[in-house]
Amino acid sequence: MDLPKNGEAVSLSEIKKICEFYGLHDLWVKIENDPPVKPFKSDGCSMWVDAWDGISLYSACFIHDLKYWAGYPGEDVERLVADAELMMDVARLLNETKMAEIMFHGVRVGGHEMFKRNFSWGFGRINK
């Protein structure tokens, strides 16, 4: 499936199709029942590279961004799961773990909701 480009606003109907394609049923239910107030836009691999050794990491980062956008404050377990899934997706894409582990540690530190950035956990729900 072709994902929307970096920085492109994504409609709820497109998000539903993406969630269906990637098997993200629970994520779609969360979004459908209480859509975040801010429109969804992915910035790819926030403050990182979108490709490594000629392999695109964008799909893994896009899905991770979608999970972060829809997150609620205080969902520490859900955030950990999203970060671990990013790590596994990157490891599968690259067929190695080093970059995946580096990215995992980066999002664990830099993606915390307390920073209230456009890539922090719950960024679609942050009133700024």
State the pLDDT at residue 11: 98
Per-residue pLDDT band at 127 (split at 50, 70, 90): low
Full-prediction pTM beyond 0.85? yes
pLDDT tens, residue by residue, 102-121: 999 999 999 999 999 999 99
Cβ-in-10-Å burial (0-12, 13-18, 19+) of 60 comes to: buried
Neighbours of 80 (CB within 10 A): 12
How far apart CA 115 and CA 98 sit, in angstroms, is 26
Percent of the chain at pLDDT above 70? Answer: 98
Rounded to 10 deg, the angle between the 58-70 and 25-33 helix axes is: 40
- Sequence ranges of the domains in the chain: 9-115
